[in-house]
Amino acid sequence: LITREPVGVVAVVTPWNFPLTLSAWKIAPALAVGCTVVHKPADLTPLTAVRIAELALEAGIPAGVLNVLPGRGSVVGKGLGLHRAVDSLAFTGSTEVGRAYMEYAAQSNLKRVWLELGGKSPNIILPDAPDLQTAIETAAWGIFFNTGQMCTAPSRLIVHRDVADEVIAGVLAAAKTYQPGDPFDPSTKMGPLASSSRRAEVQAHVDAALKDGSKLELGGKSIDLPGVLAGGAYYEPTVFVDVAPDSSLAQNEVFGPVLAITMVKDDDEAIRVANNSDYGLAAGLWTANVSKVHRLSRQIRAGTVWVNCYEEGDLTVPFGGFKMSGNGRDKSRHAMEKYTELKTTYVKL
């Protein structure tokens, strides 16, 4: 017999940028296959997880099956990583912290560690894009949505030189419409960063890009807004052009509203630049040529490739990354498999 059994106790550690969605992606499949869960939410957003636990009790899930343990990562997160009663740990967050969880597993019981980590996603626009204006608008939306605080944000825009002038002009025009404002105002297109420390980190990346010689075309500094918004971690939509593929801005995840634009001469160079990264979470590709779609999407080293669109999704398809963007997959039946153990049983009758 070949069977799958629940792995046991699963620790789920989630970030602050999409606290409800990312928690559900991990908690639901773990519970569905029969595991118990200890959930440590980000210290900035613990109440979402507490409410999930309350709803779980109301729905009839027995006490002790889904547990929420708020606290600092350096204390609670590390404790879960080292705890020998934890059989598996699923984490979404930075690559640096993901490394730490693998070390904790090695120092304790070699628990399974599933990681969905950072990204520096390339978005390639070729001259034969079916709708260049849509590609431009999507490029701007992708990097400024959620103030750039998204692991799949298309933070590297790779543009063929034949359409570079039009694309850059269009992106700059679109970027100017994402001026920071009150997140409770329906007309606001971009709110603040998550914290003042997060804003300081974004500024440090921008300063490093300027030292590297990247050309700042728009933004590049924080904004102080009046009234009740005073003190918020607001930052301008920021666009750099002529960004070298090996520069700090092209290589490091900023996790903010900062776009790096690099121009290329042909498809092959576009793929080389796209794959010139330690990350491999997602990518975008804009072309109307079906042959190119198949050839180039295979060559891109990323867990998800969006063609002539970006950020499309469905719970029935897996999500996760290559390289230092992590291992394993969330969503789909593949997410359920990682919370189980395979067992082979021989029976002699």
DSSP summary character for residue 177: T
Percent of the chain at pLDDT > 70 equals 100
Q: Which residues are catalytic?
A: 116, 151
The position carrying tokens 């992590």 is: 326
Q: Provide the angle, in degrees to the nearest 10, between the axes of the packed helices 161-175 and 132-144.
A: 50
Alpha-carbon distance of 23 to 86, in angstroms, equals: 18
- The pLDDT score that the predictor gives to residue 78 is 98
Kindly report, residue by residue over 139-196, the tens digit of the pLDDT. 999 999 999 999 999 999 999 999 999 999 999 999 999 999 999 999 999 999 999 9
- The pLDDT score that the predictor gives to residue 303 is 98
Q: Average pLDDT over the chain, rounded to whole?
A: 98
- The pLDDT score that the predictor gives to residue 85 is 98
- The pLDDT score that the predictor gives to residue 116 is 98
Q: Between β-strands 238-241 and 322-323, what pairing exists: parallel, antiparallel or unpaired?
A: unpaired
Report the predicted TM-score, pTM, of the whole model to 2 decimal places: 0.96
Alpha-carbon distance of 341 to 199, in angstroms, equals: 42
In sequence order, which residues have a C-beta less than 8 Å from that of residue 179 and are 6 or more positions away?
A: 189, 190, 236, 237
Structural element, H or E, at residue 96: helix 95-107
- The pLDDT score that the predictor gives to residue 176 is 98
- The pLDDT score that the predictor gives to residue 34 is 98
User: What is the 3-class SS of 258-317, one letter each residue?
Assistant: EEEEEEECCHHHHHHHHHCCCEECEEEEECCCHHHHHHHHHHCCCCEEEECCCCCCCCCC
The token pair that represents 271 in the structure block:
């793929």
Kindly report, residue by residue over 290-317, the tens digit of the pLDDT. 999 999 999 999 999 999 999 999 999 9
Band of pLDDT at residue 201, cut at 50, 70 and 90: very high
Percent of the chain at pLDDT > 90 equals 100
Band of pLDDT at residue 49, cut at 50, 70 and 90: very high
Segment 93-121 mean pLDDT: 98
Task: Indicate the class that CATH gives domain 122-307.
Answer: alpha beta
Alpha-carbon distance of 21 to 93, in angstroms, equals: 14
Kindly report, residue by residue over 112-132, the tens digit of the pLDDT. 999 999 999 999 999 999 999
Segment 134-142 mean pLDDT: 99
Beta-bridge mates of residue 259: 239
Task: Indicate the class that CATH gives domain 2-117+326-344.
Answer: alpha beta
CA distances in angstroms from 271 to 49, 159, 223, 291, listed in the order given: 40, 11, 36, 15
The position carrying tokens 């290559």 is: 322
Q: Between β-strands 9-13 and 36-40, what pairing exists: parallel, antiparallel or unpaired?
A: parallel
| Type of residue numbered 318 | P
Alpha-carbon distance of 125 to 339, in angstroms, equals: 38
Q: Provide the angle, in degrees to the nearest 10, between the axes of the packed helices 46-58 and 19-32.
A: 40
Instruction: Give the burial string for 74-96 (b: 16+ CB within 10 Å, else e).
Output: eebbbbbbbbeebbbbbbbbbbe
- The pLDDT score that the predictor gives to residue 126 is 99
Domain borders along the chain are: 2-117+326-344, 122-307
The token pair that represents 173 in the structure block:
């025009």
Alpha-carbon distance of 235 to 256, in angstroms, equals: 8
User: In 10 A of CB 211, how many CB atoms?
Assistant: 10
Kindly report, residue by residue over 207-238, the tens digit of the pLDDT. 999 999 999 999 999 999 999 999 999 999 99
Q: In this structure, is the dihedral angle defined by the CA atoms of residues 153, 154, 156 and 157, taken in order, positive or negative? A: negative
- The pLDDT score that the predictor gives to residue 103 is 98
- The pLDDT score that the predictor gives to residue 162 is 98
